[in-house]
Each structure stands twice: as structure tokens, then as C-alpha cells.
Structure 1
Amino acid sequence: MKLLKDAQLGASTFFASPLPHDVCGSNGLPLTPNSIKILGRFQILKTITHPRLCQYVDISRGKHERLIVVAEHYASNLGDFKQGQTVWFGFSPEKVLQIAYEVLEGLEFMNKQGLVHRALSTQNVLLDCKGNVNLAKFGLYHMTDHGADVDFPIGYPSYLAPEVIAQGSFHPSDPSHDEAPLPSGPKSDVWSLGILLFELCARRRLLQNIEISEKLKFILTLGCMDDIVTVLAEEHGCLDIIKELPENVLELLKKCLTFLPSKRPTPAGLLGDPLFHGISCLYTPFQKPVSLFSSSLRCANLQLPDDIADLCKDENDDYLSERGIDEVYHLWCLAGGDLEKELTNKEIIRSKPPVCTLPNFVLEDGESFGQGRDRSFLLDDTTVTLSLCQLRNRLKDVAGEAYFPLLEDQQSGLPQSNSSNELSATVMLPLIIRERDTEYQLIRIILFDRLLKAYPYKKNLVCKEARVDIPPLVRGLAWAALLGIEGDIQAKYDSIDKDTPIPTDRQIEVDIPRCHQYDELLSSPEGHIKFRRVLKAWVVSHPDLVYWQGLDSLCAPFLYLNFNNEALAYACMSAFIPKYLYNFFLKDNSHVIQEYLTVFSQMIAFHDPELSNHLNEIGFIPDLYAIPWFLTMFTHVFPLHKIFHLWDTLLLGNSSFPFCIGVAILQQLRDRLLANGFNECILLFSDLPEIDIERCVRESINLFCWTPKSATYRQHAQPPKASADDSFGKAATYFSSDYQDMAKTDLSREPLALADLKAEFSPRISAEDLIDLCELSVAGPSKRNKGGKPKIIAVDIRSMEDFSRGHVSGSVNVPFNSVFNSDGELVQCPASGVLQNYRGRVIVIISHAVKSAVMFAAHLVKVNMSRVCILDGGISRLNPTGLLTVPSPQI
């Protein structure tokens, strides 16, 4: 994306062709509005960056098929000179050649991207403060599908090539229209360039005072002429001026104004012509910036000043102009920018009373009443400059140092400024408010921009800052960094066969039109094509897995954030699934799903036993509602804007974090669930009520940090890795690191058969987990509650004799036989006795026999004791460690 520099932001608007009402496509679904099609095609234009092309920034869709396009803009253009004047802006023959060369540079780059301008004219050739060319509106022909989605012609009659004029007009909304003409090629732009250059040389407009039909007729008759340049000069009374032109300029005009396309050169061919040998050496060939994920070295040409402080010496420097155009526009919107309001103020958008918009009607005698065609629905190519004054005023208190934050660990994430106290206070505000705060977002965007440019070297700092929040503007790249994406992802994606038909194609075709289609981007035909390619690439590249319904929902967030980078969307999806959904997409995934749901049931009992007891009593088990949650990581039940905030935190956690999200959702619905029976709960989840995502995230983190790492162990989870995540900070290390990533030892938790796992209400934890937690409860105040109490208590249910021979330090002894008789019947409720004092802590049941520990834990859950778990393997696991305490004999 280009920097703002001396450019401005410009907005223009037009209408897409309306579609007939109540008409469906071949699949039975309503037709996609043309404005949605244009919006989808527009997205690729945002990635086309070149010094000779005005950068496209954004497109928004309004009422009645109105579209507003935002792009880089300059106040000066080649159409500013007045007819009859002598040279304007120094348009000497040398300057004409320079302009021609720069225009051809832009056209050649467009052609490499598969684009044709078709609307080239003097008003669309903008000039920056140095007089360099920037082509505007070069994407209009592409985004409208070569004019098929609008009711106006693309291009200006005076500049259109003869072969374009010969095709005639085309109006999509006219039911009697013929088939769409063939798309124009690059050579049509060369003719337009010839007319443009001729006007500069002749110092007058061509065909300005002639009726449109006469213009077209005259241009077509040029085919009979041998020397078109001379004929044009004679027609407009400027033959003397043209004859005085240097031979090279005259030769250029003749090559451009060649009537037959077969003999007319392309932009690339003209650039290599000897005519420009003296000019081409003055220009450095454009090199596309290296992307974040590629095999090329990003810092190969990096140059830094000797003193970083030199970057912000001058207090009058316009630091905002050094930011990307997309970033400035994003901040402009946050600062109160309104596109429709700006266009309305300039009278580009005019509102009319409803009575003035009534259609015309015709009586039997043929007399017509009503209004003619509303000219506001025709193309108005006026570009309105968006004022940045409000944005600059909003950011006036941001110090220069804020634009160049230091990245060392000891530095604050929020650079100092005149309003640093306000920024510190903003961090404590709700996320939705922070995302709309202009100054705060500027600071966060700049910080993340620098961290991502240093990725993967600064990956740890990216994770650290992501714990605060992720700016929406950089969310796509930030997620990729959190998922550890590296290498040449484009080459890998390109190597996958996405075209050969496979059996899954039919199911993908059925699912895509139902996946997050409320979103304009994903519902566009371009979005469907990208959906299909990314999903198919995943299926083809994972032959051991299969396509399950829900995979499209998983793909949606990544595709939305990386709409113009399918390779990155695919790479993120491929890294996300094995981390959180390992083996969920096996052909037979029943054992994986059942184990996952069973662990989730234990997590509900661990954190909210009262709710767990109620749901079990009415038979409302997770199998009835939670499968879509976990199979799609909640993308099937929440809209995208909520998924973004949810996944911002999910990506910082490990494979057990989704359990905590599920429990947090249930706790938000807790009162309604406890008050209802089975049927009411089914109805409740068939149309899930509004969930406060920020509260859900906050409570999920708390649940996550209270859950011992081995409590969520699954034998069908991803195999261990070299290192474990610790994205929630050192204070939660033992409660948050992923047990699946830990190396197995004799103290590790052993896998259980699914039937045995289902028979237990409370989770098991490993011996190493117990040792770690007990040590922390003694040594570290950070592992204690606010009142200074330890978070864990070990409850030894062996007999007093066994307990006295050796026990865990700090544990309490509640003999099993004092609670249950020999028949397994309850004699005394342990929760009403000594354990009442330990409510709220993690209670670990230790015993000789697993069966007695399971019974004891089940009773505690039944009486609503929370955070109850069982030591896997019992006391025998701890005997070899030498860590058991033997009480000293009393004297």
C-alpha cells in the first residue's frame, strides 16, 4: 500500500444496474445484486500498487445500488488547461514524451495484472506536486465486468478506440439489449493515449463541439485515411502546430493513432520503442515490495539513519503523510468521516421527496405522463476530495515519537505523548470503544505495523501486544503471526491442484451459498470463487482428512481478513485446524468428537457443578448443542464481527481454550437454563440468544487460568510439540500451558478408555500437575487468591493410618470410610464438614483406589462443590518421587 505523501483521498460514486425483482437464479436463490458483484471484483484493485497508478482504498455500498469508491487523488490533471492557451504546465515536446512514458508505465503494469483502463482521458491523468503522472479510475472497467453491471458506457467517446465504438452501446438493464460485446484489449488504451497526447500538442480539445453521433461517425471514417494525425490536425485547425512537432513526437502520435488494432502497438511494445531510449534511463524500474510471507529477504535494502532521533526532530513534520493511504482512510472514518455526507455536501448525491420519484405511465392513446430518466442515476465522474482537517485536529496531540515506537521489551506498548494518560485510561475501556478511538488506534496500528515487519523475530512481542487487543486494520496479518505462518506460502498454494474435479465439489457448492451470506464480501461471486478455491486446496492437500459440513464456516474468518491473499487464508486455516481441531475431519471422527464432548462435560462439572447437575437431570447433554460449536470453533453460531473478537483471544490460548469458551457461554445463559426443562433448552439453543462476547472472552480467560493443564487431556489431541504456549503470561503458566505439548513422563496422565472417561463426572489431573501446583501454592503469592489463600487443596481420602505413613504436604485427610459405608452408601456429607472451608479452590482427590476417588468426587459435584478433580493413578504415582511428607512423632 502506498504512503499518503502529498496525495489526497478522493471519493466518486456511480450506480450499478438494478436487477428485476422476484427473479431467482438456476439454483433457486435470489440473484446477486450487481452492486455486490462490483464490490467483490473491486477488492483485488486494492492490491495493485504502482507509482503511476492512483491507489484504490475502499468501496462502500449504499441504497438503490449506489457505490462509493475511495482512491488516491490529486487536484491537478491534464484536463486543467484551457482551449486556446499556449503551453500549460510546460507541455513542451519533451514533457509530452515524459507524460507518454509515465502513462505507458502505468498501462503496462495494469496489463500485467490483466486490466485495461478503457476510461483514459485528460481528466483521469492526475499530476502530483512534482508533475508525475498518476492514472485514476483505471479499475472501473474491471470492477463493472467490462461495463456489464452498469447502465453507462465505460470511457469517453472522444477518446474511445474505433473498434470500441464499432461495437455499439450496451445497457444491461434494458431487456431488449444484445449480448455483451467482447472486452477491450490493451491496444484500445494506446489509441486513447494518442488522442490525449494529440490534445496536449495541439493545445485544444478534440471533437468538443460536435454532436455525439457526429463524433462517432467521424472517428469511424478515419479508417479510410492514411495519415490520421494530419486529418485530425486539419479538422481542428492546428496543422501548423502539429507540423512543428519534433519527429519523435510525431512518430509516437502516428503509432498510437493506428486505426487497425492488429497494427497498433501494445503499451509494453511502445515502452521498448527507441523513441523512449533517452527517457527510459531516467526512470528506475518498479519493484514490487516483498510480502511478509515469502522466500525473499525483506530487509535486503533496509537503510536506517545513524540516530533514530533524527526521524522526529522537526515538530512541524507531517508524520501522518508518512502512513499508508489505507491506514489514513481507516483513521479518517474513525474520526467521524462519512462518505455519503461528503458527497451530499458537494451536491453529488441529491435526495428527492418520494412524490418526485414516481415512475412515468402511459395512457391508451400513447400519451406519457411522469418524469424522464433521473440523471442522478447516470455516471457523474466528479471526484470529491475528502478533507483530513478533522482527522489532523483529532491527532494534533500525538507526539512525533509515537510514530516511531521502540520495540524493546522494557519499553511501554503505548509511546509517550501529550495525552499518554488518556491512552492509558483508554486501555481499560471496553474493546468496542477502543476500536473506535482514533488516537488509540493510531498508536496500536503503528506499533503492530512495526512488530509485524519484524516478524518472526518479534513474534513474542506480537503475542504480548495481542493480549491487550488487535487493531482491526492489521488483524489478518496478526492472526497469521499468532499461528506461526512462515515461508513462501504463495508457492505452496500455487502448487496445489484446485481445478481438477473431485467428489467433494458438489458439497462445497451447496454449502458456500449458505455460509455467512449476510456479509456483502463473502456473498459476492468473487467471494464464492475464492471460498471454493481455498476449501478445495485444503481438501486436496489433506488426503487423510475429509470435508465435513462446517469447514466452510471455519474458512470464512480467514477468507474475509485475507480476501486478496488466498494463499494466506489457506495457510492460516491449515495451521488453525491441527491446533484446535486435530482429527476432527477424519472420515470416522465419532471417537474424537465423543472424547471432546466428554471432556467438555467434565469442564462444566468442574467449573459449574450446579448447572452440570441440572443439565444432566433433564438429559440436555452437549451432544445436542455443542457439536456445531466445536466443529466450527463457534463460527457457525456467531456472526463474523463477534468471531473476530473471540478468536483474537482464542489464538493466544491452546487447544483446551475452546472448552472454557463453551462453559462461559453456558454461564451467560445460566439463569434461563436452570429455570427450564429439556424442551425449553432445545428451543433456546435452536435460536441462540445474544451473547456478550467481551464478557465471554473475559470469563473464558478466568476459567482457563483456573483449569489445571492436565484436566483437559485428550488422547486424540495433537501430538506433543517442542514447546508449549504461554500466551496469557507467567501468572497463569501452570494453568494455561497446553498439556498436549508436554513431554510424557512417569508422572504424566494416562489415557482412559472412552467408556471409563464417560463414567467419571470430574476430570483427572496428573501427578506432575499436582506437584507443580502444590509447590506454587507455597512458594509463589502469584498463585494465590486475592486474600492470600492458595488456589489448590489436596484432599486425601485414605485411612488415617495410610495418611500418617506419607502424604502430600498441606493436604487434608477425609477418610473415605468416614463418608461412605461398606455398601457405598453416604454416611456423612464431606462438603458440610472440613471441606466447606475450601470452597472455591481446586480440590484434588487422592486415594489408593480410583473407584473410591471417583465416588467421592461425584458426591462433591452432586452437592455443588466446584473445581473438583481426581489425581490420576492415585497416591501410588507419588510414592517414587520422595515428595510425600511423614509427620514427626509427637514427644
Structure 2
Amino acid sequence: MRPLKDAQLGAFTFFASALPHDVCGSNGLPLTPNSIKILGRFQILKTITHPRLCQYVDISRGKHERLIVVAEHFERSLSGFQKQGKAASSEKMLQIGYEVLEGLEFMNKHGLVHRALSAHNVLLDCKGNVKLAKFGLYHMTDHGADVDFPIGYPSYLAPEVIAQGCFHPSDPSHDDAPLPSGPKADVWSLGVLLFELCAGRRLLHNIEISERLKFILTLGCMDDIVTVLAEEHGCLDTIKELPENVVELLRKCLTFLPSKRPTPAELLGDPVFNVISCHYTPFQKPISLFASSLRCAHLDLPDDISDLCKEDDDDFLSERAIDEVYHLWCLAGGDMEKELTNKDIIQSKPPVCTLPKLKDVVGEAYYPLLEDEQSALPQSNSSNELSATVTLPLIIRERDTEYQLIRIILFDRLLKAYPYKKNLVWKEARVDIPPLVRGLAWAALLGIEGDIQAKYDSIDKDTPIPTDRQIEVDIPRCHQYDELLSSPEGHSKFRRVLKAWVVSHPDLVYWQGLDSLCAPFLYLNFNHEALAYACMSAFIPKYLYNFFLKDNSHVIQEYLKVFSLMIAFHDPELSNHLNEIRFIPDLYAIPWFLTMFTHVFPLHKIFHLWDTLLLGNSSFPFCIGVAILQQLRDRLLANGFNECILLFSDLPEIDIERCVRESINLFCWTPKSATYRQHAQPLKVAGDNSFGKTASYFSSDYQDMPNPDLSREPLALSDLKEEMSPRVSAADLIDLCELSLSAISKRNRASKPKIVAVDIRNVEDFSRGHISGSINVAFNLAFSPDGELLQCPTTGILQNYRGRVIVVISNAMQTAFSAHLVKVNFPRVCILDGGINKLKPTGLLTVPSPQI
């Protein structure tokens, strides 16, 4: 998106043709409304950026199939010349002709034609340069098939377009739509425009439409159409005074037969433009963030950045991208339909005159410094208010205009510096991610780099494969409440991205749920399928490694068992109840994890959930699952099996912000190795400390220590299912208890440690060597040799440690002891993998000094 600068935001509105209510498609589903089809096709127009085209910004649906399109707008147009009644000079006419052709040629390269070219759709900016408006109307309406009005204006339509007649989709007498117009149709319209500029008046303006059409069609019998038009409008002398090359240009444009009429690209190379073309620099599309070409920013900043914004009348907001300005206007309460209604010109295209001034945002805010020591919020007149805004709920922050402006500018700079500023993107994402840049921010968090478009293009998405049928069945059921994803264009994109993933991962298969996983990425990158595919391809191995194997039962079963252990670890009372009524995760949690909750929540909740999920590692989904259960805790504890089944068949409303907040807390209390899975993705590098210093020992993905003897040992699934508490590795325990020499000096803390080691060996074994700081609760004093409870260990010293992470240590009976603690609702209980024997070779066991 280019800067707003001297442009305005304008809007035009129209109705899509209505469909009958009692007709279904071939798949048995109701027909997709034409307004939804138009909305889907419109999206690609937002990516068409050129100096000669008015930038499209947004589209919205109203009642009764009304559509409102927001686009760049300028007050001046060629119709102003006509109202003056003066002929334009040859130089001005050639300039306008050349600039219109530039825009038309660029459109043609993207498979578009204008078809609605007219004097009031050729706008002029403050420098008098051409800006073509409504150039996408023909494309978004499927060449006029989705509306009940013709695309184009009779005075400017080419003869071959008029000869096709008017087509109404609802008319049963028309079996087939007319062939779409080609680029040459716009050349005729341009010829009429240029002729009007030369004549200083409109053509066929005072003649009835039927007479206009007849006259244009009869021009096919004329040898010199330009002369005939000049005689008809009494301006033959004016045309004769034009330079011969200009008249020849008019003749080429107004060639009756399309086969002999040149295209915009051919006309641009015409010698008539030789003098003028040397003053124009060919347009070069900016290099995208993900490409093989090198990107660089040419910055020339003053020593004092405040020098950039000394002028009081500087309009810094106009330097921001058009879509940003519109987004901020909407946040400030802007409503396009209401604007049009208030002005009583709903069918017109007025400029948006109520853009917020954002006067409190000083110039420095538009040039944030990116050094680590700088504050995330730049200084402004309302900096205190902005600092307070950070503490507000996310949904409020996302609707705060000034706050979003600051965040958008900051992320825009960070993403332009990606991957160099990757760490800062992570840092700022922990605060929040502005919705406007969420797609690119997610891509950065997933580490997407390189020429993703070339890779995506190289994948065969056309050859039929066995999975095609299942994909066709799933797509019409996937988040179809969303207008964008339910459009035919959305379905086509869904199909291509999903098929690309299946084809490029031959060792994996398509499982139902993959479409739901794709939905957030496709929605955020609707006009960049390659990025949606790249993000999905990076997301799945990170969070769903081997979930899409043909036989994934062992992966799923291990995952569900670890989830069960996480429930017992964080909420043993709830775990005991669910186990007692046999309401196991297999009955409700498979769709959660197979789709990473996209099958459970609507997209707007998934966006907030995944903003945090992408900062965590593969164990974070366990914490989300536990957080969801805790929101339903009271109802689950009060109900039996059948009631719980019904509860999850129609999941109650979940407070997603509370879910995220509690998930982070659970994540920070979970030791790294407690979520170890032997079927998880092997790690190459250490995980990020995603949630800050508090999570330093608890947040990273578990991985083997340099000493493999201290790591977790793989456990057979049958043995794992017998466990009641998660295991932690010896390496993890050493870190958590801070037993390394470098950490001992740091143990003087004001707060209590989060962990306690409970050694359940008998007193004699304990005295021969134990972990420093551990407590001894002898198993043989609490349980008989046959496992009968003699004395509840939780009534003694252990009660003082309730709430901390309790690591049970022994050389035997760890499982039985920890199971009893869970049974009596003791939270955060885990056992040391390998027992005390794992620690003996480390030299970290201590022997108490003898009493003197």
C-alpha cells in the first residue's frame, strides 16, 4: 500500500443481483450470494498498486446485497475539462493518453481490463497526473455476471461490446454469458475520451441511448471514424488543426474492428509518445518481504530525529499507508455506510471527511527508534495514557486509535527490517500484535524466509490426486460463517493451498482438520497464497509433528496421555473426577489438538489465541487445553459422564483472554521435561524464553542436555499410561533446584523457590547422600510393604509445600507415592525420571555434617 499523501478516501456503492432462495447448488448447499462472490474476487484488487491506478482499500457488505467499496479518491477528473467547454492542448492530451495507457497496460499484465473507462473515472491528482478509478468493477463482478446493471457507459463502450447486447444473469432467456471484454475494448474508450478532450465537449451527450448505440454500430461502415465524429459534433475544424500524429493516434484508438485495433501495450510504443515517454520512469514493483532479491532501505536521518518533525503543519498521518489510515478511521468509530446515509447520497462516492486528526501524536512517534534500550512506546503528549493502555484488555487496545497507530508504525519498521530485527519482533509480539499486520507478524514468528513464491509456484496443484474428493467435501464446511472464506475465490484458494501441502509432504496424509488449520493463515494472507502455505508448512511440524502420518495412533495416544498428566499436575481434583467418571481426553480433546483449537473457536478468538501460541513451543497447547477445562471446572465437577458429553458437544462460551492469561501461567509453572514426548519434533536449537524471565526454567521445549545420562528416558506407551504424574529429567531438576556452582551464589532471594525435592527413601539412605535442600518423607513410614496407607504424608511437613512443584525422588515406589499425592488433590506433583540413581554420578548429592 502506498502513502495517502494528497489523496482522499472515497467510496462507491452498488447492489449485487439477488439469487432465488429456493435453489441449491450441485452439492446440495444453498447458492453462494453474489455479494459474497464479489467480496472474494475483490481481495486481489487490494494488491494491484500502480501510480496510475486508484488504490483499492476495502469492501463491505450491507443489507439486501449492498456492497460498499473504499478506494483512493481525488476531487478532480477529466469531466472537469468537459464542463469548462475548452479543448485541451495536444501536449495535455498526449500526457493524459500516455498515463491512461500506462495504467491500462499494468492492469492487462494482471489479467484485468477496465471496461468502465469514462471521463469521471479518470481522476487527476494535485500534480495533474492520471489516476484510474473503478478499474476493478468489471473483475469483481465476474465481467458483470453478478450484477443487474451493465459495466461501462454507452458513450464510451466499444462497438463489439455493444453488439453483444445487455446480459442479465436472472434472465432465463440467456443461457450463456457474453465473452469477457479484452484490452482492446479499453482502447476504444480511451479514443472517445481523447476525442472529447480535443473537441472540448462530450460525444453523443444529448442523444438518447438507443440512438447512441445505433450511431456507434453504424460507424463500422465508415472509412474515417474520426472525421465522421467531428462532423457529427461540429468540431471538424478543431480536429483538422491537430498535429497529424495526434489525429493518427485517435484513428488507431477508434478502429472499428477489434482485430485491427492496437492493445494498450502496443500503443505505448507508438512514435507519437516518443517525446513524452522520456519524461516517465518505468514503474518498478517494490521487492516483497519474502523474495530472493535483496532488500535495502535508503535512510538519510538527521543527527537529531526531532528535526524531522519541526514543522507544526506537517501531516505525518498522510505519509502512512492508505490501508493504515482507513484502519485507524474505522477504529475511531468510522462507519462507511453510515457516512453515506448521513450525506443522503448513498449511491455516490464522497470522500471520507471525518478522518481522525490524531493531534496528540507528535512527529517523533512516526519515527520510532529500534534499539533494545528504547521504550516500545515513543514519547508523545499522551505517553502516560499510552503506557496505561498497555495494561488494558486486548480487545480494548485493538480499538484504541492512537495506540494502534503507534503499534502499527513500530511493527511496520520491525518487519521491514526482518529477519535482522527478528528478536525485536518477538519482544513486541509479547505485548500484542496489531491486527493490521498480524499475517506478516505470524510469518516472522514462524521464521519464514526466502523466495516462498517460487517454491509455491513449483508445486503441482492441478494434477488430480486421491485427496481431492475429501478436500472438496471439507472446504464448504470450514469457517463458512466468514464472508471471505465462504466466497468461491476463498474456496479456490483453500483448495490450492491444501493441495500444495499434501503434494509437497508425500510422507504425510490429509486428515480432516487440516482445512481448519489452514483457515487462519489463508484469511490473513488471502492475497498471498504462498505465504499462507509457507506459514502452515512451518506451523505443523512445530506443533503437530507427525500428527498427519497415515498411522498416527501412537502419536495421538502419547499426546493425549501427556495431556492427562498435565491435568493431574495442575488440577488433580478435576483430574480425579474425570478419571472416576471415565471422561478421558480421547472423547473430547482430539479435535482440539489436531486443529490447534481452530475447530473449536471462531477465527477472531483463534487470532488472539495464536498470537500467544506462536510465542510458545510445542508444549503450550497442553496449557491451553488445561485452561479451557478450568473455565468449565465447576460444571465438570458437578456432572457425570453423560452430562459432560453433552457439555462438550456444544462447548459453552470461553473467555479467550482469560484462557490466554491462564495458559501462560500454567506454562510458566510446567517444568520443561514434564511435557516430554518421544514422538515430538527433534530440536536443533534451544527454545526461546518466550514469556520473559519468569518462564526461564519452565518455557523452553525440552531437549537433551550435553550429558545424555541426565536426560529423560523414552517410556513405552503402555508404561506411560500407568503413570499418574509427569516425570522430570535429572537435568531439569538440577536447573530448577539451582545446584550448579554458578547458581548457588544467586539463591538469596526474597521469594520462596517454586520447587521442592521430596526424597522418599528411608532415613538411612537419605543420610548417605541427597539433593541439597530436599526434604525426607520416608515411604516406609507412610505405606506398608504391600502398599497400604499407614500415615498420610500430606498431613505432616509436606503440607507446608503445597502449591510448589513437588519432585518425588527415590530408587523405587516413586509412582505409588506420587499417585497418592494426586489422589488427595495435591497439585504440581511430578517424579524424577530414573530416580536417585540418575543423580549419583553427578557428584551433586550432599551428606549432612556429623553433629559435634
TM (norm. structure 2) is: 0.98
- Please identify, of 311-320 and 270-279, the stretch whose mean Cα deviation from structure 2 is larger: 311-320
Give the structure 2 partner of residue 413 of structure 1. Answer: 376
Give the structure 2 partner of residue 526 of structure 1. Answer: 489
Give the structure 2 partner of residue 384 of structure 1. Answer: 350
Give, in angstroms, the shift of residue 335 of structure 1.
Answer: 0.8
Give the structure 1 partner of residue 41 of structure 2. Answer: 41
Aligned mate of 2:316, from 306, 319, 344: 319
Give the structure 2 partner of residue 450 of structure 1. Answer: 413
Q: Is the 8 A contact 1:720 1:741 kept in 2?
A: no
Equivalent-residue separation in structure 2 for 1:30 and 1:84 (angstroms): 52
**Residue 145 of structure 2 corresponds to residue 148 of structure 1:** yes
SS state at 2:673 partner: helix
Q: Is the 8 A contact 1:777 1:792 kept in 2?
A: no
Give the structure 1 partner of residue 217 of structure 2. Answer: 220
Partner deviation per Cα, 1:315-341 (whole Å, 9 max, x = no partner): 321000100000000001011111111
Letter in 2 for 1:74: F
Give the structure 2 partner of residue 283 of structure 1. Answer: 280
Q: Is the 8 A contact 2:82 2:197 kept in 1?
A: no
Partner deviation per Cα, 1:94-147 (whole Å, 9 max, x = no partner): 010000000000000000000000000110000000000000000000000000
Give, in angstroms, the shift of residue 154 of structure 1.
Answer: 0.3
Identity of aligned residues (%): 85
Equivalent-residue separation in structure 1 for 2:679 and 2:91 (angstroms): 72
**Residue 805 of structure 2 corresponds to residue 839 of structure 1:** no
Equivalent-residue separation in structure 2 for 1:330 and 1:62 (angstroms): 18
Give the structure 2 partner of residue 854 of structure 1. Answer: 815
Q: 1:710 to 1:186 in 2, by over 3 A?
A: same
5 Å-filtered alignment, 1:780-799, equals 788-799=751-762
Give the structure 2 partner of residue 664 of structure 1. Answer: 627
Q: Is the 8 A contact 2:705 2:711 kept in 1?
A: no
Letter in 2 for 1:856: F
Give the structure 2 partner of residue 104 of structure 1. Answer: 101
Give the structure 2 partner of residue 355 of structure 1. Answer: none
Give the structure 1 partner of residue 200 of structure 2. Answer: 203
Aligned mate of 1:402, from 339, 356, 365: 365
Give, in angstroms, the shift of residue 737 of structure 1.
Answer: 0.7
Give the structure 1 partner of residue 475 of structure 2. Answer: 512
Q: Is the 8 A contact 1:170 1:178 kept in 2?
A: no
- Please identify, of 150-159 and 247-256, the stretch whose mean Cα deviation from structure 2 is larger: 247-256
5 Å-filtered alignment, 1:54-133, equals 54-83=54-83, 85-87=85-87, 91-133=88-130
Give the structure 2 partner of residue 302 of structure 1. Answer: 298
Letter in 1 for 2:352: L
Give, in angstroms, the shift of residue 726 of structure 1.
Answer: 1.5
Q: Is the 8 A contact 1:783 1:791 kept in 2?
A: no
Partner deviation per Cα, 1:33-61 (whole Å, 9 max, x = no partner): 00000000000000000000000000000
Q: Is the 8 A contact 2:672 2:700 kept in 1?
A: yes
Equivalent-residue separation in structure 2 for 1:593 and 1:459 (angstroms): 33
Q: 1:699 to 1:786 in 2, by over 3 A?
A: farther
Q: Is the 8 A contact 1:724 1:737 kept in 2?
A: yes
Aligned mate of 1:345, from 332, 342, 350: 342
Partner deviation per Cα, 1:590-627 (whole Å, 9 max, x = no partner): 00000000000000000000000000000000000000
Q: Is the 8 A contact 2:686 2:703 kept in 1?
A: no
Letter in 2 for 1:685: F
Give the structure 1 partner of residue 839 of structure 2. Answer: 878
Equivalent-residue separation in structure 1 for 2:738 and 2:753 (angstroms): 10
Give the structure 2 partner of residue 808 of structure 1. Answer: 771
Equivalent-residue separation in structure 2 for 1:144 and 1:710 (angstroms): 56
Give, in angstroms, the shift of residue 787 of structure 1.
Answer: 7.1
Q: Is the 8 A contact 2:686 2:700 kept in 1?
A: no
SS state at 2:68 partner: strand
Give, in angstroms, the shift of residue 786 of structure 1.
Answer: 10
Q: Is the 8 A contact 1:315 1:400 kept in 2?
A: no
SS state at 1:96 partner: helix
Q: 1:881 to 1:781 in 2, by over 3 A?
A: closer
Equivalent-residue separation in structure 2 for 1:388 and 1:287 (angstroms): 33
SS state at 1:425 partner: helix
Give, in angstroms, the shift of residue 175 of structure 1.
Answer: 3.0
Give, in angstroms, the shift of residue 744 of structure 1.
Answer: 6.3
Equivalent-residue separation in structure 2 for 1:224 and 1:507 (angstroms): 57
Q: 1:418 to 1:748 in 2, by over 3 A?
A: same
Letter in 2 for 1:194: G
Partner deviation per Cα, 1:195-214 (whole Å, 9 max, x = no partner): 00000000001001111100
Letter in 1 for 2:394: L
Q: 1:313 to 1:796 in 2, by over 3 A?
A: same
Give the structure 2 partner of residue 429 of structure 1. Answer: 392
Q: Is the 8 A contact 2:704 2:712 kept in 1?
A: no
Q: Is the 8 A contact 1:723 1:741 kept in 2?
A: no
Give the structure 1 partner of residue 851 of structure 2. Answer: 890
Q: Is the 8 A contact 1:467 1:728 kept in 2?
A: yes
Give, in angstroms, the shift of residue 21 of structure 1.
Answer: 1.0
Letter in 2 for 1:333: C
Q: 1:624 to 1:310 in 2, by over 3 A?
A: same
Equivalent-residue separation in structure 1 for 2:66 and 2:3 (angstroms): 28
Letter in 1 for 2:446: L
Equivalent-residue separation in structure 2 for 1:840 and 1:700 (angstroms): 17
5 Å-filtered alignment, 1:351-366, equals none
Give, in angstroms, the shift of residue 777 of structure 1.
Answer: 11
Give the structure 2 partner of residue 252 of structure 1. Answer: 249
SS state at 2:426 partner: helix
Letter in 2 for 1:634: F
Give the structure 2 partner of residue 370 of structure 1. Answer: none
Aligned mate of 1:748, from 700, 711, 714: 711
CA RMSD in angstroms, aligned pairs only? 1.6
Aligned mate of 2:826, from 859, 865, 874: 865
Partner deviation per Cα, 1:63-112 (whole Å, 9 max, x = no partner): 1000000000000000013457324xxx3110100000000000000000
User: Please, which runs of 5 or more residues in structure 1 have no aligned partner?
Assistant: 350-379
Give the structure 2 partner of residue 561 of structure 1. Answer: 524
Equivalent-residue separation in structure 2 for 1:468 and 1:741 (angstroms): 31
Q: Is the 8 A contact 1:41 1:142 kept in 2?
A: yes
Partner deviation per Cα, 1:173-193 (whole Å, 9 max, x = no partner): 233334210000000000000
Give, in angstroms, the shift of residue 781 of structure 1.
Answer: 12
**Residue 458 of structure 2 corresponds to residue 495 of structure 1:** yes
5 Å-filtered alignment, 1:593-604, equals 593-604=556-567
- Please identify, of 686-695 and 722-731, the stretch whose mean Cα deviation from structure 2 is larger: 722-731
Deviation beyond 6 Å, 4+ runs, structure 1 = 776-787
TM (norm. structure 1) is: 0.94
User: Please, which runs of 5 or more residues in structure 2 have no aligned partner?
Assistant: none
Equivalent-residue separation in structure 2 for 1:401 and 1:83 (angstroms): 45
Equivalent-residue separation in structure 1 for 2:308 and 2:86 (angstroms): 44
Give, in angstroms, the shift of residue 537 of structure 1.
Answer: 0.2
Equivalent-residue separation in structure 2 for 1:475 and 1:856 (angstroms): 47
Letter in 2 for 1:41: R
Give, in angstroms, the shift of residue 784 of structure 1.
Answer: 9.6
Give, in angstroms, the shift of residue 305 of structure 1.
Answer: 3.3
**Residue 162 of structure 2 corresponds to residue 165 of structure 1:** yes
Q: Is the 8 A contact 2:739 2:844 kept in 1?
A: no
Give, in angstroms, the shift of residue 304 of structure 1.
Answer: 2.2
Equivalent-residue separation in structure 2 for 1:874 and 1:258 (angstroms): 91
Q: Is the 8 A contact 2:53 2:131 kept in 1?
A: yes
Letter in 2 for 1:336: G
Give, in angstroms, the shift of residue 510 of structure 1.
Answer: 0.3
Q: 1:211 to 1:275 in 2, by over 3 A?
A: same
Letter in 1 for 2:28: G
Give the structure 2 partner of residue 13 of structure 1. Answer: 13
Q: Is the 8 A contact 2:368 2:378 kept in 1?
A: yes
Equivalent-residue separation in structure 1 for 2:158 and 2:96 (angstroms): 20
Figure out how many residues of one structure are paired with residues of the other and give that number.
851
- Please identify, of 139-148 and 242-251, the stretch whose mean Cα deviation from structure 2 is larger: 242-251
Q: 1:714 to 1:783 in 2, by over 3 A?
A: farther
Equivalent-residue separation in structure 2 for 1:833 and 1:7 (angstroms): 75
Letter in 1 for 2:328: L
- Please identify, of 872-881 and 312-321, the stretch whose mean Cα deviation from structure 2 is larger: 312-321
- Please identify, of 167-176 and 585-594, the stretch whose mean Cα deviation from structure 2 is larger: 167-176
Q: Is the 8 A contact 1:38 1:144 kept in 2?
A: yes
Give, in angstroms, the shift of residue 741 of structure 1.
Answer: 7.4
Aligned mate of 1:470, from 433, 448, 452: 433
Letter in 2 for 1:206: L
SS state at 1:734 partner: coil
